[in-house]
Amino acid sequence: MARPYHPKREVSFGPSRLVLNTAPRHWLARPGWLRALVLALFLLVDGYIGLIHGLGTIVWSGLFTSQLEWLLLPIEVMVGALLLLRIILSQVRASWKSTLIVLTPILVVLISFVVLELLLTGSGRKATIKFNLSSVGLSGLYWSAAYLSVAVGLTLTYKVQRFANFAQAEMVLFGSYIALLLMWSNRFFPISDSPSDGILNWELLLWAGVSAFVITGALGFAIDRVVYKRFRAKMGTPQVMMIASLGVSMILRGLLYMRFGAGTFRFVPDRDWRLTTSTIKFPAEQVTLHLGDAGNQPLMEMATSVSPYAFAYSKFTFVIGMFAIAILLLFLLHRTRFGRQMRAVADNPDLAASSGIHVERVHGGTAFLSSGIAGFAGALIAAILPINPELGLSLLLPAFAVIVLGTIGSVPGAIIGALIVGLLRAASEPVLIGVGDALDRPSASGFAQVVPFVFLVGLLLLAPRGIGFALQNWNIDRIKKQRLSRQNAHYASRVKLLIPIGRLPVVTAPLRGFFERANHRREIILDWLTNALSLFWAARINYLAKLPSKAKVLSNRIVETRNLSHIRHRHLPRIDRETERGSWILFAILFLVLAAIVFMLPSVSSLTKTLQVARIVTLVGIFGLASFSLNLHTGITGMTNFGVIFFVGIGAVVVGLLSTPVALNGYGWSPWTATLIAVGISATLGWLLAYPTARLRMDYFAIVTISLGEMLRISLQAEPLMRAGSTLTSAIGISQYPRPLESWWENGPAHRIGDLLGLHVAAPYVVLLAMLAATTLIAVWFLLNTLLASPWGRILRSIREDEVVSQHHGHNILIHKAASLALGAAIAALAGALWAWLNTSIWPDFMNPVRTTFLIWAAFIVGGRGNNRGMIIGAFLIVIVEFIFNVLVVSRGSSSLPFHGLTSLMDSIFSWLVTSIGGLVWSIRSIEAVFPNGDVELSLTHLKLALIGMVIVGGLVSSSKGLLPEIPRRPKHPPGPPEDTSERKEAA
Amino acid sequence: MKLRGLFGLLVMTVAVSLLMACGGASSVKIGMLSPQTGPIAQFAPGFASAGSVGLASINEVYDGNFEFELITADSGCDSTTAATAAQTLIDSGVLVIVGAACSGASTAAIAVAAPAGVPMISYASTAPALTTADDNGYFFRIVPSDAQQAVALTDVASAAGVKNPAVLYMTNDYGAGLGDNFISNWSGEICTKAAYDPAEGKYDASALAQAVVSGGCDSVLLMSYSTDGASIVEALSAQGFEGVMIGADGIADANFTGDFTDASAVDGLIATRPRPGKDSVAKSKFESAYAAADGKDGIYTHETYDAIKIAAAAIASDPDGDLRVAVAKIGTNYDGASGNHTFDANGDVIGTGYEVCQFTGTNFSCPRVWSADGGLATK
């Protein structure tokens, strides 16, 4: 995109800032980069001597076990090196900077290899890493295409519509299922089912690609009309639209599950496509790296006699198709009228509208294109992978990493980002296998799927605005230089052309005279116009002064009655959700209604009812605390945090690991100390997170936080240090940790409380946990309310409203953001501790970002951003919804259970929809492939998913503030005399 | 706006209470936790089919005496979902819970079920932590420990003349348990160890296969589920791998070929699975009923069926007594579809060994058996 170049804008504030920053009084006041340089060098040297010689602060401190030391030291060196790189980047001349930023991916990879080499040398181990160049390259292309399938639409939506569309992954899936439906249709099934004949049949694949493009595009267009158009009309924030897209994705996934079930299907365009012999053989060369063995073996060895790499036709088609469509999109954006319109809307929708572009049509077109491309990709990917409704989610998070890496909203950036991430993903696998072997971590290759995130986080710290931004700058520089040189050339040539003309003063003299006269006349005209205007102005004022007196009387009366109504209004207490009292009343009503539902939930005995209520209370406590944390970060401070689950997870994992007995690979601390440490660690991490991420844009911050959660989850799967609860270190998960006060409870109060509740047995432990959770929730609520009512709360809100203004008022934004992150993280860690005790064990899946994080987000949005009362209602609501739907789900099994009739009714409606109505579109074969014997049954679990999605979308469409909106904290207007207002109105 | 919303809520509450008031004749309820959502949701249809086959069978056996109902709830593969689902099952009055599948789901669910006095019989949780979990004796499982199968696999691999195997395994508790145990049992060299996430779109089967081929490995040990296992076996064949392929119970099934487009790739694959009882009547009976019900291919379907049968037998033997005791008693030398089972004091089954199956062409047969004391033997 050709952005006009404004040389003046860039230098305008330079000198004044320099004046403010100079004049160092003592060492600490030296420029920040100098201090950072000292820190970086210290980290590098300290880490280096730690790794190689077993010296340095980490070793001397004696705080860590040797396993942990080996984990921390490489991290220390890595941080030091990245910091150093960042200082170089910030201090280097501007003309080199863009080039350096574009080179950072390579530098980061190099640094990681150096760190690995140090680690291996230090620990006296040797690693052999075998890169098969063809395998890495082609597999990398495959990953690139797979990530690109989601990323293209994602970045396009971002560019034009300015929000992160979580439903993009479902669009890919939708395309896959269209391909499957075509395969099952009577027209195409014979092609798919025919025996192999050695000839590739393209017919079904082409049809599937085209129809997936059109139908998915139409779906995207329809969703845009029904949902996002409303938000645009209401000037909805990108955040609200993003959460709405989350709701849309839940609805779509729920529908896909209901129609196609959870099983996997393979799309066979023709049997020949999927034969193991349907491959292209690429000759392979193998590069072997020997790390940690510097003295004995060469670092790198080449071997050519390895077996060729077979790349399946279907993958080849997918890669070609994906990159072709991305390049077509680029062409469309830059060479066609519609593309120019899209870019215009992306740059400034209002300006675009004013110059005659139909903005809504451009939005619709963008939605069609981004969904259509995803659908097309889905059809192609179905020919490679077995399809089930979870597939989209596997691609969504890496796709986010791709578009952030390539700068959000840039299509060429997305292509480059996909290539980098894809190749890195493919190349990391051999590295992880080799290094994991050397370090006794056979499951290290499980980390391959987080490599994109780790890399992204590292890179964002260096180039906070992504590579695409640097590329764009670089491009602008290049174009600028080109223009300048071309201009000079142009000038020179024009001067040459002008020379003969200059020799003809006879011709120019009369012309000059004409211009002089014209200029003179213009001045006269301008004078005349100004006079006319001032005359008119004077006349208007005279006219107003001479208004008929009757009209004045009338207008006075109107003002009086208005004032009267105003006064009357003021006497009535204004009860509204957005006043303190109204908010409390609505909170009480909602709370009581929810409590009544809890009371009415069916149960068979007083014991099971006690268990049920205690469980609900504990869950409300956990989700409430997590929502408090999210509210503090996002609702109050305005940082979009998708990593609540990261902090919750840190809390749970640290509590679990520290309190598990030593015999079971734990540390054997008491649950209370462990909780304190967990809260401390989580708060520290929250504080530290502020430093690298403070400069990041909102969306980038969101992606970094969501990546952190994913990293923790994969570490739980693949890192032996994160396992405890069994004598075997191979056992994934943390379990067998003690819970607080467990023996005290069972030996005393349990019996008394059991009698009190009329249970006839001792009260179960979960009752105590419920009391703990409720107490913690209320205490944190009180603490937060006090803090947020203090000046600090006001500063946080002012940061949310406008960072620049609060900075201007002398607040150190970084410190306040860090404090907010730390406090929120500490609260989330408490939720994590409670969660660990409730579940009695910690498994990687409990931190599923898509499930848990978004559930907390739903509570946050539905409850009401910025209002802690809303958080409690939101948390209560999501817990209750789960229970109510479970009651529905189980009712199918027995006629004696409540709602049994309702579920049978829903079943028959669904069956009618699928067979009679849907039967018009799809074949009987497609129904029988999913439902055993063709007996269509509604999956209530997935209906729940779709309904929660509908609640989110519907709630946001009707009121984007949530149930209990934030109470605006404005100073009360002083009651002025009514005359004042009337005069003001009159004047207006 | 606000009032309308509140009114709606009130109407809903009244409607809920009215609907709850109605209820019919009581029958004996067995609960089932099935992973209908989450990473292993693709196997839920198989569990559901096996569940309904089991239900039909118990209602036939105890016809006239008991009327059983199977109540299924979604456990996800997630502790919180599972525990909430277990709570709902208990609230609807189930006497025994069959499930859950994922180990995390089982540990959280037993923390709810044990205080309520409801025994759980898991059909797929293999984590070693469940052996020693604080379940007050309420937790049983029909799946043998991974550690033992890893020993069986070691013997099978040695017998196949394997020198330098590659180990490919999933990064979940089942895969990691088998893989790590195999690695520590294997005395010889191991050429490559690679872990992968079995969710589609998170691993590249061709790259895994290429790592095996370019590493010069003479064989592959594959700890996988069926769909990902098929993709990897196909990829191995595409990359020209010609060594021995050995798998575990995730793929040891005649239906495994159904996951292939090109089933010829399966030729020569060896796989172990728990050994069925002496007369495998239960097994053949289940398999024919399962096929008649158009059941989906899957894993642990035999175990699901057995868990339901054991639950029903326990309830029938002592409807009002301590079901923990009844389940333990029924589960002594029990001849089921998935093998001969005896629960030990921890609720784990003491396996009677494994059978070693193989694909010749696409034909599936199990000519050998393995037991802890006898090692490998021909049947």
Query: What DSSP assignment string belongs to B96-159?
Result: EEE--SSHHHHHHHHHHHTTTT--EEESS---GGGTS---TT-EEESSPPHHHHHHHHHHHHHH
Contact B132 A268 (CB under 8 A): no
Specify whether B163 is located in the same domain as B103. Answer: no
Specify whether B175 is located in the same domain as B104. Answer: no
Residue A730: which of B71, B90, B180 has the nearest Cβ? B180
In a domain, B112, yes or no: yes
Q: Which residues of B touch A939 (CB under 8 A)?
A: 36
Instruction: Check CB contact of A898 with chain B, cutoff 8 Å.
Output: yes
Contact A894 B44 (CB under 8 A): no
Nearest residue to A289 (alpha-carbon basis) of A426, A166, A116: A116
ipTM surpasses cut 0.85: yes
Contact A838 B133 (CB under 8 A): no
Counting the structural domains of chain B, the total is 2
Q: Which residues of A touch B176 (CB under 8 A)?
A: 443, 717, 730-732
Instruction: Check CB contact of A311 with chain B, cutoff 8 Å.
Output: yes
Q: Comparing A484-493, A659-668, A690-699, which segment has the lowest mean pLDDT? A: A484-493
Give strand pairing partners of A301: A288
From B83, which residue of chain A is nearest by alpha-carbon distance? A839
Residue A932: which of B49, B179, B206 has the nearest Cβ? B49
Q: How many CB atoms lie within 10 A of CB A957?
A: 18
pLDDT digits (tens, 9 = 90+) for B241-280: 989 999 988 888 777 887 887 888 899 999 998 877 666 6
Cα dist. A658→A524, A626, A677, A770 in Å?
88, 22, 9, 23
Percent of chain B at pLDDT > 90 equals 34
CB contact at 8 A, B142 and B351:
no
Specify whether B243 is located in the same domain as B361. Answer: yes
DSSP code, position B300: S
What is the spatial distance between Cα B274 and Cα B143, in angstroms, rounded to a whole number? 8
In a domain, B90, yes or no: yes
Q: Which residues of B touch A311 (CB under 8 A)?
A: 206
Residue B192: which of A262, A433, A932 has the nearest Cβ? A433
What is the spatial distance between Cα A5 and Cα A278, in angstroms, rounded to a whole number? 53
Helix (H, G, I), strand (E, B) or coil at B270: strand
Contact B72 A277 (CB under 8 A): no
In a domain, B128, yes or no: yes
Percent of chain B at pLDDT > 70 equals 91
Contact A386 B41 (CB under 8 A): no
pLDDT digits (tens, 9 = 90+) for A322-375: 999 999 999 999 899 999 999 999 988 889 999 889 999 999 999 999 999 999
DSSP code, position A916: I
In a domain, B8, yes or no: no
From B201, which residue of chain A is nearest by alpha-carbon distance? A394
Q: Which residues of B touch A192 (CB under 8 A)?
A: none
pLDDT of A443 strictly over 80? yes
pLDDT of residue B40: 80
Contact A593 B10 (CB under 8 A): yes
Specify whether B133 is located in the same domain as B182. Answer: no
Residue of B11, B78, B190, B212 to mutate, testing the A interface (most A Cβ within 10 Å of its Cβ): B78
Specify whether B215 is located in the same domain as B304. Answer: no
Specify whether B135 is located in the same domain as B163. Answer: no
Contact B238 A933 (CB under 8 A): no
Specify whether B241 is located in the same domain as B363. Answer: yes
CB contact at 8 A, B357 and B364:
yes
Q: Which residues of A touch B296 (CB under 8 A)?
A: 263, 932
Specify whether B150 is located in the same domain as B133. Answer: no
Residue B214: which of A307, A394, A717 has the nearest Cβ? A307
Specify whether B53 is located in the same domain as B138. Answer: yes
In a domain, B80, yes or no: yes
- What is the arithmetic mean of pLDDT over A617-636? 95
Contact A262 B37 (CB under 8 A): yes
Contact B87 A615 (CB under 8 A): yes
Q: Which residues of A touch B78 (CB under 8 A)?
A: 843, 845-846, 848, 851
pLDDT digits (tens, 9 = 90+) for B166-219: 999 998 888 888 888 898 889 889 988 899 988 888 898 988 998 898 888 999
For tokens 């495998």, the residue is B280
pLDDT of B150 strictly over 50? yes
pLDDT digits (tens, 9 = 90+) for B126-144: 877 788 777 888 999 988 7
Cα dist. A481→A5, A430, A486, A956, B246 in Å?
11, 43, 8, 48, 63
Higher-confidence position of B63 and A178: A178
CB contact at 8 A, A712 and A646:
yes
pLDDT class for B165, splitting at 50, 70, 90?
A: very high
For residue B192, give the CATH number of its domain.
3.40.50.2300
- What is the arithmetic mean of pLDDT over A93-110? 81
pLDDT digits (tens, 9 = 90+) for A152-187: 999 999 999 888 898 999 999 999 999 999 999 998
pLDDT digits (tens, 9 = 90+) for A217-247: 999 999 999 999 998 888 777 878 888 898 9
From A729, which residue of chain B is nearest by alpha-carbon distance? B180
pLDDT of residue A858: 84
Specify whether B235 is located in the same domain as B169. Answer: yes
- What is the arithmetic mean of pLDDT over A604-612? 91
Residue of B29, B36, B80 to mutate, testing the A interface (most A Cβ within 10 Å of its Cβ): B80
- The first and second tokens of residue A65, run together, are 């076990």
Q: Residue A593 burial by CB count (10 A; 0-12/13-18/19+): exposed, middle or buried?
A: middle
* Averaged pLDDT of chain A: 83
Nearest residue to A124 (alpha-carbon basis) of A274, A257, A241, A295: A295
For tokens 């396009």, the residue is A156
Specify whether B198 is located in the same domain as B289. Answer: no
pLDDT of B378 strictly over 60? yes
Number of residue pairs across A and B with CB atoms under 8 Å? 358
In a domain, B17, yes or no: no
Radius of gyration of chain A (CA): 33
In a domain, B68, yes or no: yes
Q: Which domain holds residue B163?
A: 146-268+354-378
Contact A433 B194 (CB under 8 A): yes
In a domain, B87, yes or no: yes
For chain A, the straight-line distance linking the first and the last C-alpha, in angstroms and rounded, comes to: 45
pLDDT digits (tens, 9 = 90+) for A950-980: 888 887 887 767 888 888 876 556 555 554 4
A278: phi then psi, degrees, rounded to nearest 5: -80, 65
Contact A286 B214 (CB under 8 A): yes
What is the spatial distance between Cα A951 and Cα A675, in angstroms, rounded to a whole number? 35
Instruction: Check CB contact of A906 with chain B, cutoff 8 Å.
Output: no
Instruction: Check CB contact of A839 with chain B, cutoff 8 Å.
Output: yes
Specify whether B314 is located in the same domain as B185. Answer: no
pLDDT of residue B14: 47
From A577, which residue of chain B is nearest by alpha-carbon distance? B2
